Amino acid sequence: MSVSIPYRREMSFEYGKLERLSSRIRRIIAHNPSAFTFHGTGTYVLGEGSVAVIDPGPDDPRHIEALLDGLDGERVSHILITHCHHDHSPGARMLQAETGAPSYAFGPHGAGRLGDQGESEEGADWDFIPDHCVVDGQIIEGEGWSVECVFTPGHTSNHMAFALREEKTLFSGDHVMGWSTSVISPPDGDMAAYMASLEKLLDRDDVRYWPTHGPSIEDPKTHVRAFIAHRQARAQQILDALASGLTQVSAMVPKMYADVSPNLYPAATRSVLAAVAYLEDQGKLTVAGALNADAVLALR
């Protein structure tokens, strides 16, 4: 592919330490590094004294204990959840048990789509149910801070970003990250919704993004435009593969992702399937039978 994404992967941090990023923002990173979480889940704290916590992270008592140690003498008034994956929302239960703070999210996993909720999905936190369901454009206020809820479905159907209005800073969850693209995994992940959510961000005036994984994004619109172009190029790769005689996603993935480890092919396959569904909806290809890696595809 010829699309160049301005990835940002350099970051300085110390596990277990709540570190200041700006006058209103602090972050502590959970020790859960992986091929999908980068160095780990970044849990953000907004405000001073009475604070909001964004994405408490995985089911890890050590992480929550370190967070509360860093907040010694302060009160957690709000818990904000971008989406319900195991590296984002399970920590809310432990944090609530210690603080009593209410949780805020668009809804439980699958809340943004209709029909079968697909409980076989890997990585989903089906146990999380927010105390307060929030909607796009809703304002949540605390002492010295306020956030706008920015609905950004695609990575998951319930993905909600949060914009700190005082600093024009968007906490973008997994929707836009600096170190990597996001996996879009059907049925809850949806490529059409993801692309629309990217376009939506281009109409905003945020000056900085803080994703849940990785460093900040300092030139958001350039990054978002690169992500849109990247997904468009991936879609074209699928059409080109079909034109060359490859008719199954299982045969396309090794060629489309020749520069990544085969260990990541399963995740890549999920995103390719999402792109196939997107192209099918656009009338550019057909799928014989149920959509899976071995389904036979054809150009329309």
- Nearest Cα to 89, choosing from 178, 156, 168? 156
Tell me: pLDDT of 115 over 70. no
Residues 6+ apart with CB under 8 A from 134: 104, 105, 106, 140, 149, 160
Average pLDDT over residues 211-235: 97
Tell me: pLDDT of 150 over 50. yes
Q: What is the pLDDT of residue 119?
A: 47
Q: What is the pLDDT of residue 248?
A: 97
Average pLDDT over residues 182-194: 95
Average pLDDT over residues 50-67: 98
Average pLDDT over residues 159-168: 98
Q: What is the pLDDT of residue 3?
A: 81
pTM (two decimals): 0.95
Tell me: pLDDT of 114 over 70. no
d(C-alpha 81, C-alpha 88), whole Å: 7
What's the pLDDT tens digit per position in 11-24? 999 999 999 999 99
What's the pLDDT tens digit per position in 242-270? 999 999 999 999 999 998 899 999 999 99
Residues 6+ apart with CB under 8 A from 20: 26
3-state secondary structure of 181: coil
Q: What is the pLDDT of residue 120?
A: 45
Question: Is residue 94 very low, low, confident or very high in pLDDT (cuts 50, 70, 90)?
Answer: very high
- Spans of all domains in the chain: 19-227, 231-299
Average pLDDT over residues 133-149: 98
Average pLDDT, the chain: 95
d(C-alpha 13, C-alpha 90), whole Å: 23
Q: Is the CATH number 3.40.50.720 carried by domain 19-227?
A: no
Domain range 231-299, CATH architecture = Orthogonal Bundle (1.10)
Q: Which amino acid is at 137?
A: G
CA distances from 108 to 12, 229, 233, 250 (A): 33, 31, 32, 31
The percentage of residues in the chain with a pLDDT greater than 70, rounded to a whole number, is 97
Tell me: pLDDT of 92 over 70. yes
Tell me: pLDDT of 121 over 70. no
Q: What is the pLDDT of residue 1?
A: 60
Helices 191-202, 220-243: axis angle to 10 degrees equals: 150
Please report the DSSP string for 192-232 in residue order. HHHHHHHHHHHTS---EEEESSSS-BSSHHHHHHHHHHHHH
Average pLDDT over residues 227-242: 97
Tell me: pLDDT of 118 over 60. no
- Nearest Cα to 77, choosing from 21, 131, 126, 135? 131
**What is the chain's Cα-based Rg?**
19
Strands 139-142, 145-151: pairing kind: antiparallel
Specify whether the CB–CB gap between 55 and 105 falls below 8 A. Answer: no
CA distances from 104 to 5, 62, 77, 160 (A): 32, 23, 11, 10
Q: Which of 49-63, 108-122, 239-253, 262-276 has the lowest mean pLDDT?
A: 108-122
Strands 50-54, 75-80: pairing kind: parallel
d(C-alpha 39, C-alpha 57), whole Å: 13
Q: What is the pLDDT of residue 2?
A: 66
Question: Is residue 167 very low, low, confident or very high in pLDDT (cuts 50, 70, 90)?
Answer: very high
